[in-house]
């Protein structure tokens, strides 16, 4: 498992850093939406404390400072998204403080008809709001335990504020504890899912790059027809059809028979009679049970007059044993020939240059000098043209 089960961090530091960089770009957008919603909510929520009997200047001031803090934190997150693992736990504690303002600073009034307990008739609604904000903050960021520690601290403060020995108090402590556990389980599940999706996406992108490279090569999937005891085509890409001149099973077998293996562990006498068709047949027949086997051979095509490096991979496609052959043209010898030809022409050019200067020294008239220069120029142009044509080919 590449993920730590406790912290959910990737065991590879490079993967963990890539994941955090990706999530830091997302948290800017998420925190912007969260801050907008929070300011809109508390702009409506603060109106309750402007009522005649419930006006509380301290609570209004605290909520106003909280809204300004949210705006400030948004700018900090946008500038330093990595700080979210410190900011979000503090924000959890700040939210808990805001929801306890009525307990810390109770509203007082001289009206004898005001029933303080009646104002808490909708306590379940206020609890739902607090749960929402704790949950919303918990879903931000990519760390679990910094916010989990903050929630544990909030829980300890909450259950120890008015300790009693009643059954109601015990039930309240248990229900709040289960709510916080539910919050952490949801965060853990969501974060684990995101990290696994990131891992799968990373692997998929890596395979896409590999496939893009492979698609530039000639690929032929070959299987053995047990009834006819012959190799037949399973799949072939368009590049292989054009490069290897293969359109059907007959052309496939002819092409494989004309590809002579040049490097192998066999003796020299056997190499003369070993072709690519026999090698593929042996690979399929020898291993009747699937094992991931891959090896590479160098072959020379007598028909195409080219040399290839062929990678053979045993695989199972559509419940049948087959061999994937990847042909890569070996340009080493061609490049060597090209280099020798260019070197030869360079030697000829140097020889002609020496001859030209010798003629210049021995020329007795201006006409002979001009004649030597014209001949030298024509030879130089001819060599350059041939060299350019060879390079383009």
From the list 290, 310, 287, 291, the residue with the least C-alpha distance to 300 is 310
How confident is the model at residue 34, as a pLDDT? 92
Number of residues written out for the chain: 393
Residue 326 sits at φ, ψ, to 5 deg, of: -110, 115
Q: Which long-range contacts (CB under 8 A, 24 or more apart) does 47-54 make?
A: 49/107, 53/107, 53/109, 53/111, 53/114, 54/107, 54/109, 54/119
Burial of 138 (0-12, 13-18, 19+ CB in 10 A): buried
Structure tokens at 85: 């693992």
How far apart are the C-alpha atoms of 83 and 146, rounded to whole Å?
A: 12
Looking at residue 285, its pLDDT comes to 75
Q: What is the pLDDT of residue 118?
A: 47
Q: What is the pLDDT of residue 287?
A: 60
Give the span between the Cα atoms of 213 and 361, in whole angstroms: 59
Q: What pTM was computed for the model?
A: 0.51
Long-range CB pairs of 269-275 (<8 Å, 24+ gap) are 275/299
Residues 309, 311, 312, 313: what is their CA dihedral angle, to the nearest 10 degrees? Answer: -170
Q: Could you read off the pLDDT tens digit of each residue along the chain, which spans 393 residues?
A: 578 888 888 888 888 888 988 888 889 989 999 999 999 999 998 887 887 666 778 888 999 999 999 999 999 999 999 898 899 999 999 998 888 887 777 766 555 555 555 444 445 556 788 888 988 998 888 888 898 899 888 888 877 876 777 888 888 888 888 888 888 898 999 999 999 888 888 877 765 565 555 556 677 888 888 888 889 888 887 777 888 888 889 988 988 888 888 765 554 444 456 888 888 888 877 765 555 567 788 888 877 788 888 888 776 665 577 888 888 776 555 555 555 655 665 555 455 555 555 555 555 544 454 455 445 455 445 445 544 544 444
**Given this model, what pLDDT does residue 224 score?**
86
Sole residue written with tokens 């693992």: 85
* Helical packing angle, 13-45 and 57-79, nearest 10°: 150
User: Do the Cβ atoms of 176 and 158 come closer than 8 Å?
Assistant: yes
């Amino acid at each position: 498992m590449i993920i730590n089960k406790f912290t959910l961090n990737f065991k590879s530091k490079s993967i963990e850093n890539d994941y955090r960089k990706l999530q830091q770009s997302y948290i800017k957008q998420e925190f912007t939406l969260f801050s907008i919603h929070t300011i809109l909510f508390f702009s409506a929520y603060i109106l309750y404390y402007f009522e005649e009997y419930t006006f509380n200047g301290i609570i209004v001031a605290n909520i106003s400072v909280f809204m300004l803090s949210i705006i400030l934190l948004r700018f900090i997150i946008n500038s330093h998204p990595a700080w979210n693992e410190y900011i979000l736990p503090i924000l959890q504690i700040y939210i808990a403080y805001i929801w306890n303002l009525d307990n810390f600073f109770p509203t007082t009034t001289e009206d004898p008809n005001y029933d303080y307990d009646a104002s808490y008739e909708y306590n379940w609604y206020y609890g739902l709001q607090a749960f929402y904000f704790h949950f919303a903050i918990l879903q931000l960021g990519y760390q679990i335990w910094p916010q989990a520690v903050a929630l544990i601290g909030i829980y300890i403060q909450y259950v120890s504020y008015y300790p009693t020995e009643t059954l109601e108090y015990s039930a309240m402590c248990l229900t709040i504890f289960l709510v916080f556990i539910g919050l952490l389980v949801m965060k853990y599940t969501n974060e684990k899912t995101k990290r696994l999706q990131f891992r799968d996406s990373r692997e998929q992108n890596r395979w896409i790059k590999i496939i893009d490279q492979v698609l530039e090569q000639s690929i032929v999937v070959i299987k053995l027809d047990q009834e006819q005891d012959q190799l037949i085509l399973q799949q072939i890409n368009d590049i292989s059809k054009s490069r290897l001149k293969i359109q059907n099973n007959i052309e496939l077998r002819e092409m494989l028979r004309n590809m002579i293996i040049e490097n192998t562990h066999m003796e020299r006498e056997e190499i003369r009679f070993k072709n690519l068709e026999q090698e593929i047949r042996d690979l399929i027949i020898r291993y009747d049970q699937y094992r991931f086997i891959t090896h590479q051979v160098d072959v020379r095509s007598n028909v195409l007059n080219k040399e290839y490096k062929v990678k053979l991979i045993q695989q199972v496609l559509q419940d049948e044993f087959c061999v994937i052959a990847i042909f890569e043209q070996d340009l080493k010898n061609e490049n060597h020939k090209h280099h020798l030809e260019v070197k030869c022409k360079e030697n000829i050019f140097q020889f002609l240059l020496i001859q030209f200067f010798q003629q210049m020294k021995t020329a007795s008239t201006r006409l002979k000098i001009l004649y030597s220069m014209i001949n030298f120029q024509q030879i130089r142009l001819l060599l350059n043209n041939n060299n350019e044509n060879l390079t383009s080919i």
